[in-house]
Amino acid sequence: MMLSTLLLLFGAGMWAPGLEAVNIDVFPEYKISPIEKSWKIQKKIPSFTARSVLLVDENSMVNLYSYNANLRLPMASLTKLMTALLIVENHDLNEIVLISKASSVTEGSTMNLQNGEMLTVQKLLKGLLMNSGNDAAIALAEYHSGTVYEFVSLMNIRAHELFLFNTNFVNPHGLDSSVHYASSRDLVVLAKQLWQYKEIQKIVDTQLDTVISEVSDDGTQTEHILKNTNKLLGTFFQVHGMKTGTTPNAGQCLMLVVEKNNKFYFLVILGSEDRYQDARNILYELLGE
């Protein structure tokens, strides 16, 4: 099969047997939509600090703006989008999860899970996506697969099923590793897959919530106050979430779902020095006031 045919079938930047991952910037004709071409002619280029940016129409998945869209970069807690996807695809939200000691001592951002408490899958998803709880990621991984190692294997299998061939996971939460990475284009495909779940839409669009654990053997319950890490919720346009992420290696990362004039858009920002200002600049410049 000719290389050009394979690129059309699998998409630029995607892998096929016998091919290396292709960087879309080598094949600009597969990257630039008519809208983006028009903006380039008009020099309508937003200012940003990010190492990679991608703005996509949610319905058509047409690029409205792209910069290093297939560059493999650390994505920090945007990793949790895949963790959430595996869970919602395979579990009822009312299933009960027992929190292990390993979950309760997880480093980084947490929802403050306690060893031995029990919460529903739904409540853990809230802690995962709102608080960016690394402890919730470990708890859900252990619940689904028994071990984090097995869960990560499933994350990578699911990534390949979705043709995310510029993505590799080594953990379910996104803490830094040299071989833990994704591209903006892969993350948009992942977000599109996850966005179809109404409960996920509701969670990522919630600023504040409180969840209470199930009654334990000693009759006690634990309250967890959740605050969405996305500071753009309710500030401009109609921002509906979806995930933030920050680590020393990844810098500031952001996946946004934005609604304007009854149309939805995905915006991915990786490796930013100021993700929120980058997002404002990009959206105001390309989508207008």
- Single out the residue of 268, 252, 219, 216 nearest to residue 99, CA to CA: 216
Whether 2 maps to a domain, the answer reads no
Tell me how many domains the chain contains: 2
262: domain range? 28-74+232-287
Q: Are residues 82 and 222 in the same domain?
A: yes
If asked whether residues 246 and 278 sit together in one domain, one would say yes
| Residue 56 token pair | 């996509």
Same domain assignment for residues 116 and 154: yes
State pLDDT tens for residues 105-135.
999 999 999 999 999 999 999 999 999 999 9
Q: Choosing from 52, 77, 103, 272, which is the catalytic residue?
A: 77
Q: What is the pTM of this model?
A: 0.85
Mark whether 104 and 218 lie in a shared domain.
Answer: yes
Query: Is 109 an active-site residue?
Result: no
Question: Are 112 and 70 members of one domain?
Answer: no
pLDDT 10s digits, 7-39: 333 333 332 222 233 333 332 333 445 555 544
Choose the catalytic residue: 103, 132, 145, 184.
132
Helices (H), 196-247: 198-204
Look-up: residue for tokens 């994505």? Answer: 75
* Tens digits of residue pLDDT in 129-182: 999 999 999 999 999 999 999 999 999 999 999 999 999 999 999 999 999 999
- Does any domain span residue 11? no
From 180, 198, 227, the end of a domain falls on 227
Cβ neighbours of 215 (radius 10 Å): 11
Question: 9 and 16 in contact (C-beta within 8 Å)?
Answer: yes
77 is a catalytic site residue: yes
Is residue 213 domain-resident? yes
Cα dihedral sign for 130, 204, 55, 284?
negative
42 within domain boundaries: yes
Residues 146 and 88 in one domain: yes
Q: Is 80 in the active site?
A: yes
Identify the active-site residue in 80, 123, 126, 243.
80
Task: Examine the domain organization and report whether 104 and 242 are in the same domain.
Answer: no
On whether both 82 and 219 belong to a single domain, the answer is: yes
